[in-house]
Chain A
C-alpha cells in the first residue's frame, strides 16, 4: 500500500467494567479522551457492565476488569487495565504511527 492516506477504518471497541469501581471509572475517562485524541470520528464504543450482564464475560473471555476489547478491525485485541498508559494502549490497538 502507498504510504500516506489510508482508508479511515472504524474502530469498534468494548469496555468491560463491573459497576462503578475506581478502576472502571478511570478506564472510561481514559478511553473517552484517547478516542477523541486519536480516533476522532472513526470509533464506536460500548461499555458493558458485568454486574448486569455477567454472561457476556465468557464470550470475550474476560478474566479481569476493566478490559478493553477491540472487536474491529480484526484480529480481536484485548487491553487489560485502567488504560492509564496511553502508549501501551495505542500500541495494543495498533494505532501507533509506524516509523
Chain B
C-alpha cells in the first residue's frame, strides 16, 4: 500500500471525504441505536434481481451483527484494534473462528488476525498466523485476493482438508480446528482488494448457505471501509508529521546563517576603535537580525503549541520587575526618545510573585508592547497598568494579578476581535501589508498565558479608538520567597571569569560560524581548539597538549552527528558539552541531553547567552 503516488490535493480531498463518511456512519449508528431507523441489508445479488431483503437475511442475530459492524468505520482510526474487534464480532455467533489476511507489499500476504469463539482454543488458532497464505496458491485467501470473488464451501470433505496446508504441521493445526463449512470474502474498498476475511464453522455448527455468503460479503465491505479509513488517517497523520519536520528543517536552514552574522556584529559593536556612527549602524543591523531570529522562533513555538508540546519551566517570578524590564526593552528606544510615543506606567506598588516561566512571560509582554508601539501613530500614548484583584472565576480561589496594556492606536474592528488570537491572522488583511509581521505573536502569547493558568483578552471600541490587552495571572503560591528571582537570564550581565580561562574544543563545520565563534570565545580569554569533523574532534581531544575543559559542538557534522561525538567524548574524557543546533524541537533537545550534552542551544546564539551557559556548565561541573 502506498500513498507516494498521491498529490497533496488528492490526499486533502480524500481526508475530507473520509470525514463525511465518518459523520454519516456515526449518524447511522445513532439513529439505529435510538430506534429511529432500521439497518438495511441489500446484497449485490438482490440488487441485480430486484429482490429486497430487510431483516430477512437470517435472524435478528445477523442484523445485530451488521448494525455493530456499521460502527467499524467510526472507530477505524486504530487499524489493529478495529480488525480485532471485527473478528471478535464475527466469532460471537456467525462463525466459530475466523482469520483476516491483508495484502502487503510485493505480493506478500500478512495474516493479521486469528480469532476463536472458544478462548481455550485461541492459542491453537494463533498458530495459524505462522502460515500466511502465499500469493500464488490456487485456493483459499490467495485466490480470493486475486479474483476479488468470495468463496463458499458448504461442507468440508476429508479430501479438502488434505489439499490445504503448506506442510504437515500447518495441516495438523488446521484439522485440529475442525473446519466444517467456510466462507472467504474479499475486503474491497474503492476498487482495490485490501485483503480477505475467512469465516469457519466447526463441527456441529451451521453449514453456510448463500444468504450467509451475502452477509459475509457485506461484513467484508464494511471492514474494508474501516481499513481504508484507518490508512487514510495514517497518511494524514504522516503528512502532518512531515509538515512539522519541514518547519523544523526550514527554521534550521534559516537560523544557521544568522549565527556568524550575530557573532561578528556583537564583537564589532564592542570595538572602541570604530566610529560611533558605524557602531550605531551595527546596532541597527543586529536588531534586525535578532528580529529575524525571533520570527523563526515564533514559527517553531507555533508548531510546539499546535502539538501541545510547549513546556514551561517555572520559578517564583517577580512580575513587577519583569514588566519594568519589558517596558524598558521595548519602549526605551527611539520612539520614546524622539517623543513619538508617551509611555505611562501605573504599576501596583507591591511586588507581585507569580509561579511562572519568566522568559516566556517576557515574551508575552514583549509581544503586547511591540504591538502597541507598532500600531500606535505619533503622539499616541501607551499605558501599562497592573493591579491585583480577587479571582472572579468560581472554581478557583485566591488572587490574580491583572496587567493591562492600552494604546491609543489604530484599534480593532469589532468583527475582528475574535480572530486576532488565531495564528497568521491580523485584524485586517491590509494591516499585514502596512505593518508587516506574520501575526503569530498574539496566538503564541495567548497559549503561553493559558499554560500559566491565566487568561489573555482584547478589547477595542473600534477602528481608530485604541486597543486594550489584559493579562490575568494567578498569584504565586509562596509569596514571601519572592523578591529576587527575575527573568533576566537572557540579558544577564556577562560575568565571564577571565581569571580562569578554559580550553574549549569547538566542533563546527560551517567555516564562517566556526571562525566567528572562535574569535568571540578567544575574546573572552578562552583557548580554542577547532575541528570540523567528528573524527577531527576526537583526534584533537586525544592529542591535546593541555587538557580540554569543555566541548561546544554543532550537531550536523560532515562525517557524523555531534551526538555521537558527545557520547564518545564523555565516555573517553568525561567532558562536559554544549550542543549548538539549528534544530530546537523538544525531541532534538532530549536527544542532546541523552547523548551527554549539558545544554542544547538553538542557533543563532548570542554572545551573552553563550557566556552565561559556559559559566553555568562550568559551575555545574
Contact = CB atoms under 8 A, between A and B. Distances in A.
B45 to A, nearest CB: 10
A57 B51 CA distance: 12
B52 A66 contact: no
A21 interface: yes
B47 A82 contact: no
Contact of B31 (A50, A61, A80): A80
Given A79-B27, A80-B27, A18 B37 contact: no
Contacts of A18: 38, 40, 52, 54
B28 A63 contact: yes
Interface in B34-63: 34, 36-40, 42, 46-48, 50-52, 54
Interface residues of B, number: 23
A75 B16 CA distance: 12
Contacts of A61: 24
Interface of B: 20, 24-25, 27-28, 30-32, 34, 36-40, 42, 46-48, 50-52, 54, 70
Contact of A55 (B34, B37, B47): B47
A50 B37 contact: no
Contacts of A79: 27
Contact of B37 (A51, A54, A80): A80
13 contacts: A19-B54, A23-B36, A50-B40, A54-B46, A54-B52, A55-B48, A55-B50, A61-B24, A62-B40, A64-B37, A64-B40, A80-B37, A82-B36
A27 to B, nearest CB: 8
A64 B31 contact: yes
Chain A contact residues, majority secondary structure: loop
Contacts of A23: 36-38
Given A64-B37, A81-B36, A82-B36, A51 B52 contact: yes
A97 to B, nearest CB: 19
Interface string A43-78: 000000011111101100111111100000001001
Given A54-B47, A54-B50, A64-B32, A78 B27 contact: yes
B37 A66 contact: yes
Given A54-B52, A78-B27, A81-B31, A65 B40 contact: yes
Contacts of B31: 64, 80-81
A70 to B, nearest CB: 12
Interface of A: 18-19, 21, 23, 50-55, 57-58, 61-67, 75, 78-82, 84
Across the A-B interface, give the 6 residue pairs with the lowest CB-CB distance, nearest first: A81-B36, A81-B31, A80-B31, A64-B37, A55-B47, A81-B37
Contacts of B48: 55
A52 B50 CA distance: 7
Contacts, number: 72
B38 to A, nearest CB: 6
A67 B27 CA distance: 10
B12 to A, nearest CB: 15
A10 to B, nearest CB: 23
B52 A50 contact: yes
- Residue of A58, A63, A75, A80 ringed by the most chain B CB atoms within 10 A: A63
A81 B25 CA distance: 13
Given A54-B46, A62-B40, 17 more contacts: A51-B52, A52-B52, A55-B50, A58-B42, A58-B47, A63-B24, A63-B25, A63-B39, A64-B28, A64-B39, A65-B38, A65-B54, A80-B27, A80-B32, A81-B30, A81-B34, A82-B37
Contacts of A58: 42, 47
Contacts of A19: 54
Contacts of B34: 81
A80 B52 contact: no
- Residue of A54, A62, A84 ringed by the most chain B CB atoms within 10 A: A54
Nearest to B21: A61
A84 B34 CA distance: 11
Nearest to A51: B52
A82 B50 CA distance: 25
B42 A84 contact: no
Contacts of A55: 47-48, 50
Contacts of B40: 18, 50, 57, 62-65
Contacts of B70: 63-64
B276 to A, nearest CB: 59
B73 to A, nearest CB: 10
A51 B54 CA distance: 9
A80 B50 contact: no
Contacts of B25: 63
A57 B37 contact: no
A70 B38 CA distance: 20
Given A54-B50, A54-B52, A55-B50, A21 B38 contact: yes
A50 B20 CA distance: 23
Nearest to B25: A63
A55 B47 CA distance: 5
A72 to B, nearest CB: 16
B51 A54 contact: yes
B71 to A, nearest CB: 11
A29 B135 CA distance: 55
A79 B26 CA distance: 11
A60 to B, nearest CB: 10
